[in-house]
Amino acid sequence: MDIKVLHKSSTFSSFTNGGLKLSTWFSNFGDKRQRKPSIKTSKSCTLSVVHENARFGSDGESEEASGASDDIITPVKLRPKSRRYSEQDINKRLSLPVDLHLPESFVAKQNVSPTIEGPLSRASRRQSLSEIGFGRMETYTKLDRLGQGTYATVFKGRSRLTDNLVALKEIRLEHEEGAPCTAIREVSLLKELRHANIVTLHDIVHTEKSLTLVFEYLEKDLKQYMDDCGNILTMNNVKIFLYQLLRGLAYCHRRRILHRDLKPQNLLINEKGELKLADFGLARAKSVPTKTYSNEVVTLWYRPPDVLLGTTEYSTPIDMWGVGCIFYEMACGRPLFPGATVEEELELIFRCLGVPTESSWSGLSQYLETHGPPKMSKNPEPLMSRAPRLDHDGIDLLTKFLCYEAKNRISAAEAMKHPYFRSLGPNIHKLPDIVSIFTLPGIQLSKDPSYRAYGIVKIKRRRMFLRF
C-alpha cells in the first residue's frame, strides 16, 4: 500500500487529487456510519464547512492569510458551539432501546442552556415584586420552628427578597373569633415604633387561615444569654444591657405605650450585643386620664405589689418595677422574687424590702383587708447584702426601681441619667433613636465568664414573641 506524504501546507484537494470536495467527503462518510436506515439522522447536529482552498497549519487549524495576498481566499473559521444532544445521545445516556423515538419537545428541552442562578439585579428584583413582594407568604421560606404558644407559632425563616433571616410569627385565625386582640394590639403598636432597641416589624402577611408577622431575627433572648454564661455576667455587660433596656423603654413611654410584660425572655439579643424589646402582645397605649386596665399582666416574678393586689389603674411605673427585677437578676444570677403564688410573691417582697407602712404605700390597707397582717419571720435583708457585686450607685438605682408606691419609682428617662451610667460617657445621651450605642467608641461588651459561643451551642428558642 502506497503511503502518500503531504506537506503540512497541503490542502484537502491535494489529498484527494482534486477528485473530491470536502463537503462531499463528509456526506459520504455520514452515509457509511448509518447502521439502520429506520433511524433518522439527527437534525440537531450542524457543521460549519471550511473553504476547500483554506490552508491548514500543523495544529489542524486554518492559517491566517496575509491581508496583502489577492490569490488566497480568506477561510471561514469554525465557530465554537455548545454541545447539542441528539436523540441517539439521549437514548444512550438513559439506556433506552435504539429504536425508541423521543418526543421532539423533550429533545429540544434538553438542548436549552440552564439559567445561571445568582443574586437578583435591581431591575429584576423590581420585576419580581409582583410575584414575591411584601404581603405575600411566597416571599418567605420557613426553616425551623422556634416555639409554639396558645395563639401563635414562631418559625425561623429567610426572605427571598433580601436573603436575610427573619422570625415568622404565625397567628392562627379562628373563623368565629378572628385575630386575637393581642395580635391586633401588637401590630398597631409596632407599626409606629422605630428604635434601635425595639424589635423591627418588617412585614404583615394576611391569609384566610393565619396572620403572619415578619420580624427581624435575633439569635437569643436575655434568659438564654445568661444561661450560656452560667448566670455570671460581667458588670460592664450588665450596665450596657440595662442601659439599652431603659433606652427602648423610655422611647415607648414618651409615646405613652406601656409594655406590661417585661422579663428576660422578652428581651432579645443579637450577636453584636444589641438588646431589643419584643413581644408587645400585652402592651397598650395609655390614654389620659388613666383608665381601668386588666390586672392580669406581667409575669408573676416581675409584677409590682400594687398589681399583685389587683389594682387596675396604673401607668408607666408598672414597667419600672420589672426593670429593677431584671437588673438584680443580671447582677446576681438569680431571680429576686421567684414566688409561685401571689401570696408567696408578696411575702418575698416584704422579706426583702420590709413591711410597708401606710405612708410608704397607700395600698397597704387594701392588702390588710384581703390578706391580713403579713407573715414576717425575719427582719428584712438589705439589698446591699443581697447584691454584693453592685457598687453604691448600682444599689441606689436598684432601690429607686423597687419602690412600693408606683409614683415614687424612677422613670426610664431619669434612670438613663443616673450616676451609675457615668462610665458610658456623655455622648451616649445624644444618639438618635435609630442608632445603636455600639457605634460609639469605647462601648463594647466584655467576654463573659464561661460564655458559650453562638456557633458552638445550638439552643432552640423556648420563647420568641409568644404569649404562653
Q: What DSSP string runs through 374-393?
A: ----SPPPPHHHH-TTS-HH
Q: Report pLDDT for 39.
A: 47
Select the more confidently predicted residue: 50 or 243.
Answer: 243
Q: 108 CB contacts (<8 Å, ≥6 apart)?
A: none
Select the more confidently predicted residue: 75 or 335.
Answer: 335
283 SS3 class: coil
User: How far apart (Å, rounded) are the C-alpha atoms in residues 393 and 417?
Assistant: 12
Select the more confidently predicted residue: 302 or 28.
Answer: 302
Q: What DSSP string runs through 13-77?
A: HHHTTTS--HHHHHHHHHHHH---TTSPPPTT---PPPPTT--B-TTSSBPPPPTT-SSSPPPPP
Domain ranges of the chain: 134-216, 220-439
pLDDT band of residue 295 (cuts 50, 70, 90) is: very low
Maximum Cα interatomic distance, the chain, rounded to a whole number of Å: 128
Q: Residues 451-463: pLDDT tens digits?
A: 555 443 344 444 4
Do 461 and 220 meet the contact criterion of CB atoms below 8 Å apart?
A: yes
Q: Taking residues 168-186, report their average pLDDT.
A: 75
Q: Does domain 220-439 have CATH number 3.40.50.10540?
A: no
Phi-psi group of 95: left, alpha or beta (phi > 0 → left; psi -120 to 50 → alpha; rest → beta): left
Q: Taking residues 401-417, report their average pLDDT.
A: 95
Q: Taking residues 440-459, report their average pLDDT.
A: 67
User: How far apart (Å, rounded) are the C-alpha atoms in residues 9 and 198?
Assistant: 80
User: How far apart (Å, rounded) are the C-alpha atoms in residues 281 and 293?
Assistant: 14
Element containing residue 221 per DSSP (H, E): strand 220-221
Q: Which of 71-80, 307-316, 392-401, 440-449 has the highest mean pLDDT?
A: 392-401
Instruction: Flag whether pLDDT at 101 surpasses 70.
Output: no
Instruction: Flag whether pLDDT at 432 surpasses 50.
Output: yes
Element containing residue 251 per DSSP (H, E): helix 235-254
Instruction: Flag whether pLDDT at 433 surpasses 70.
Output: yes
CA angle 406, 407, 409 (to 5 degrees): 70
* Long-range CB contacts for residues 340-347, cutoff 8 Å, separation at least 24: 340/300, 342/300, 342/308, 343/371, 345/300, 345/301, 345/303, 345/308, 346/305, 346/308, 346/309, 346/371, 346/374, 347/374, 347/375
Do 141 and 158 meet the contact criterion of CB atoms below 8 Å apart?
A: yes
Q: 38 CB contacts (<8 Å, ≥6 apart)?
A: 99
345 SS3 class: helix
User: How far apart (Å, rounded) are the C-alpha atoms in residues 348 and 339?
Assistant: 7
261: annotated active-site residue: yes
| Residue of 203, 228, 261, 279 with catalytic role | 261
Q: Report pLDDT for 137.
A: 84
pLDDT band of residue 6 (cuts 50, 70, 90) is: low
Element containing residue 223 per DSSP (H, E): helix 222-228
Is residue 220 a known part of a binding site? no
Instruction: Flag whether pLDDT at 248 surpasses 70.
Output: yes
In this structure, what are the phi and psi dihedrals at residue 257, rounded to the nearest 5 degrees?
-115, 125
User: How far apart (Å, rounded) are the C-alpha atoms in residues 225 and 218?
Assistant: 12
User: How far apart (Å, rounded) are the C-alpha atoms in residues 72 and 67?
Assistant: 9
Q: Taking residues 287-313, report their average pLDDT.
A: 67
Instruction: Flag whether pLDDT at 332 surpasses 80.
Output: yes
Do 244 and 449 meet the contact criterion of CB atoms below 8 Å apart?
A: no
The predicted model scores a pTM of 0.66
108 SS3 class: helix
In this structure, what are the phi and psi dihedrals at residue 3, rounded to the nearest 5 degrees?
-105, 125
Q: Taking residues 422-448, report their average pLDDT.
A: 94
Instruction: Flag whether pLDDT at 174 surpasses 70.
Output: yes
Q: Report pLDDT for 192.
A: 82
Q: How far apart are the first and last CA of the chain?
A: 96
pLDDT band of residue 372 (cuts 50, 70, 90) is: low
3-state secondary structure 302-339: HCCHHHHCCCCCCCCHHHHHHHHHHHHHHHHCCCCCCC
| Class of the CATH-defined domain 134-216 | alpha beta
User: Which string of b and e fits 300-324 if b means at least 16 CB within 10 Å?
Assistant: bbbbbbbbbbebeebbbbbbbbbbb
Instruction: Flag whether pLDDT at 359 surpasses 90.
Output: no
Instruction: Flag whether pLDDT at 43 surpasses 60.
Output: no
pLDDT band of residue 186 (cuts 50, 70, 90) is: confident
The fraction of the chain above a pLDDT of 90, given in percent, is 34
Select the more confidently predicted residue: 456 or 121.
Answer: 121
